[in-house]
Structure 1
Amino acid sequence: MITRELLAIPMAGGGRIDINSGVARLSGTIWATLWRDDAAPRGTVVLVTHPASNFLGHYALRDLAELGVAAAGLATRYVGNDTTLIMENCVLDIGAAIRHLRGLGYERVVLVGNSGGGGLVALYQSQAEHPDLTATPAGDPPDLTAADLPPADALVLAMAHPGRAQVYTEALDAAIVDEAEPFARDAELDMFAEKNGPPYTSDFLDRYRRAQLDRNRRITAWVLGQLAALADRGHPASSSEGPSPDDLPFVVHGTAADPRFLDPAVDPSRRKLTTLWGPAWAANFQPATLGHVTSLRSWLSQWSYDHSRANAPRCLPKVSVPVQVVYGDADCAAFPSHARQMYDAIPHGDRELVEIRGADHYFQGRPDLARRMCEHIVDWASR
């Protein structure tokens, strides 16, 4: 009989107030759901995670349990709200979950990073095997060299991209010339301007990709300047105004402008020409899409191309355990080139690259393909 259990997992402190809810902060708890066959021994468990998505009801959990392995879906402390997300704290949450599962009697843990979880689980395993990060990119706790981070026994990067900072930069609107005015645009770098395509020329794509990276770096330079200014203007804790604020929120416009959303010849696949939130022009500005609101410190940890550590191609060379990369050839968010980039970064031969033909990012309308992905994961976990 397949059962589902809610797991209350002790949460390690992150050293800052970065969760809005006092109830969540003071509870000292993160949550996971565990699906398992009551008749099966507690041998292997698959832990599925993401930096901010609510995976308590992840679509793969029941299938994995029915196929013979226990499956847990983890919600980090930042579930549903990544405006102040610190990747290094997410690493602490994964460590707490693995320790908890081992305490329940599971001998082997297969860590699955789904979607934006790919870069995170690669960061986790690299730090579990070779800890070297003593602070966040902003210089804050946690010190991961002093954390208890039990290594996973294998990794799966499922429908995953290399990391939030990379995929975010690949979708930054290069035409925005004033961060406060999203419709003040450089016509020569506007992928939505008919004169530029689609189809896009190689010259336009080269200029566009360089401009995206330049924009990410301009924002990062501004962030570092803002943090320095906050430190300089701070009031001493003994003053009537209390401690100085050391972080601020800000808005980033135009975060769904990857040329792959409009031109099928860029990174060819069977995908539909859209985004996870609908047509690209509207998604580019909708508040609910990726990374429109962030804090200074979270930007460095989560979105800065040069500062964020949660990048699978950079982390995987330090990983010794088996790694499976699973991708869909109809995915409009994690592309075939992403899968190949991560696979090529694995430094050993205990690796596997699996294509699921016809699968989009969420297997919409295709539960049979989601089941196929789970079959591949279970097969990998059993080897």
Structure 2
Amino acid sequence: MAAGAGIDIYSGVARMAGKVWGSLHRAAEPSRTAVVVVHPSSNFLGHYLLGPLAERGVDAVGLNTRYIGNDSALIMENCVLDVGAAIGFLRERGYEKVVLIGNSGGGGLTAFYQSQAESPTVRATPAGDPPDLTKAALPPVDGLVSLMAHPGRAIVYTEWLDPAIVDEHDPLRRDAELDMFDPRNGPPYSPEFVERYRAAQLARSRRITAWVREQLAALDKRDDGLRDLPFLVHGTVADPRFLDTALDASDRTPGTLWGPAVTSNLLPATLGHHTSLRSWLSQWSVDDSNCDGPRHIARTNVPTLVMYGTADQVCFPSHARSMYDAIPHDDRKLVPVEGGNHYLQGQPDLIAHVADTLVGWIEAKGLRA
């Protein structure tokens, strides 16, 4: 992997090794096609599709970025570099066709990657730091797949940000008029409440961004080399769609990937509670992050498959539609996975169905070498 602009991962071993790690599952017969499944921070070494794809004759890679298991200082532009390192590694080893799958949070990342591989434009992070992607080694892939994916971490984070929190240091001080967990507001939620709620989410995100920029400006005045600081964000799992399934209607049941929304919203292990100033701008700020899936997928020119689960509690039908609608050409396909949950947990028949669909699409597009 290419080094980052600062120390953004804790492990000295990982930094000094200069490597990102992947798990390759080989087909029984030699395959010159590799399918790569990636996410900005989740551990995909044991992804559920690797074995099934290899069994169907296609080599499959579960790829991790340098931020495996810890996105607190994640820089999206470095994730693009890590994907590029992996694609280059596979090309050097003779793979003639490479298909890149963005699963969950990987959807926005893979669109961002291919956009910059085909026609690079991003010269710095939103904080003005390296890398310059116009000078990076980013081999284009031959096909893109968005699988149970949302359009980007900053987009979905803003959709999940709890606007009822009135004190960034005290998540239990709440504005009842903007509290989706107050039964007086729903569910079901009125269109008027949802409109106010969405506006308040955006306003909270922008308040945090303004504070982040103030902190960075203060750091710039220091002469001791300190360039970043960590901070905490409370209330990051509060999308009304978690409780009101008539919003963005699908087959899902109420709740979240982590359990009941009211507790998941404040659990330490859920989305994006711990971050740094520079990571906030790159990863979570909806006005600043470069990782906007629809914007970037609109700049790509390879065959693209979008698959979504109709029972997914994380990525909703509108997320899949926003990615699909942004694809600028006709070599695209939108496929619902009926009854599929976010990671197809406990659904072996649907895992087989998704693997069959992927391999069938790869073959139909001439991507099986």
Matched residue, 1:262: 243
Structure 2 counterpart of 1:165, from 154, 157, 163 = 154
> What is aligned with 2:230?
249
CA drift of 1:265 comes to: 1.0
Residues 161 and 335 in structure 1, CA contact (< 8 A), matched pair in contact too: yes
Counterpart mapping for 1:14-93 below 5 A: 14-40=4-30, 42-93=31-82
CA distance in 2, matches of 1:218, 1:151: 37
Q: Structure 1 CA distance, aligned partners of 2:172 and 2:217? A: 29
Q: Which has the higher strand share?
A: 1
CA distance in 2, matches of 1:265, 1:97: 41
**2:28–2:57 CA contact under 8 A, matched in 1:** no
Match of 1:290 in 2: 271
Q: Which residue of 1 aligns with 2:327?
A: 346
TM-score by length of 2: 0.97
Corresponding residue for 2:298?
317
User: Contact between 2:39 and 2:104, CA under 8 Å: does it hold in 1?
Assistant: yes
Q: Give the superposition deviation at 1:333.
A: 0.2
Displacement after TM superposition at 1:177 (Å) = 1.1
How far the C-alpha of 1:362 sits from its partner, in A, is 1.2
Deviations 1:141-198 (A, max 9, x none): 1110000100000100001000111111101001011111111111110111111011
Tell me by how many angstroms 1:38 deviates: 3.6
Q: How does 1:210-289 map to 2 (within 5 A)?
A: 210-232=199-221, 234-235=222-223, 243-289=224-270
Residue 5 of structure 1 corresponds to which residue in structure 2?
none
| One-letter amino acid of the structure 2 residue matched with residue 352 of structure 1 | K
Contact 1:250 1:295 in 2 (8 A): yes
Encode CA deviations 1:2-48: one digit per residue, 9 max, x unaligned.
Answer: xxxxxxxxx111121101111110111111111112423x3211000
Structure-2 residue corresponding to 1:153: 142
SS of 1:109's partner is strand
Decide whether the 8 Å contact of 1:44 with 1:381 is kept in 2. no
**Which SS does the other structure have where 2:25 is aligned?**
strand
Q: 2:314 aligns with which of 316, 333, 339?
A: 333
Sequence identity, in percent? Answer: 63
Aligned with 2:338 (options 345, 349, 357): 357
CA shift for structure 1 position 312: 0.9
Across the aligned residues of Structure 1 and Structure 2, the Cα RMSD in angstroms comes to 0.8
Which residue among 109, 112, 136 is the counterpart of 2:98? Answer: 109
Provide the rounded CA distance (Å) in 2 between the counterparts of 1:36 and 1:220: 45
Runs of 4+ displaced beyond 2 Å:
none
Count of aligned pairs between the two proteins:
364
2:2 partner letter: A
The equivalent of 2:166 in structure 1 is 177
Equivalent AA in structure 2 for residue 29 of structure 1: K
1:309 CA displacement? 1.1
CA distance in 1, matches of 2:360, 2:87: 21
1: distance between equivalents of 2:278 and 2:355?
Answer: 36
Aligned to 1:374: 355
Q: Give the whole-Å Cα distance in 1 for the aligned partners of 2:359 and 2:296.
A: 24
> What are the superposed Cα offsets for residues 242-285 of structure 1, whole Å, 9 maximum, x if unpaired?
x3311000000000100011111111111111111100010000
* 2-structure distance, mates of 1:230, 1:98: 36
SS in 1 for 2:21: strand
1:380, distance to aligned residue in structure 2 (A): 1.8
Q: Report the 3-state secondary structure (helix = DSSP H, G, I; strand = E; otherwise coil) of the residue aligned with 1:287.
A: coil
User: 123, 126, 129: which is aligned to 1:140?
Assistant: 129
| SS of 1:121 mapped into structure 2 | helix
Counterpart Cα distance in 1 of 2:361 and 2:91: 20
Query: Who is 1:3 aligned against?
Result: none
1:238 maps to which residue? none
Q: SS at the partner of 1:156?
A: strand
Normalising by structure 1, we get a TM-score of 0.94
* Letter paired with 1:139: G
- Unaligned 5+ residue runs, structure 2? none
Q: Distance in 2 between matches of 1:311 and 1:272?
A: 28
291-300 or 368-377, larger mean C-alpha shift: 368-377
Cα offset, 1:324, TM superposition: 0.6
Deviation at 1:378, TM superposition (A): 1.2
The question of 1:130 aligning with 2:111 is answered: no
Aligned-partner SS, 1:110: strand
Q: Measure the CA separation in 2 of the matches of 1:22 and 1:169.
A: 32
Amino acid at match of 2:150: H
Contact 2:112 2:292 in 1 (8 A): yes
Aligned residue for 1:12?
2
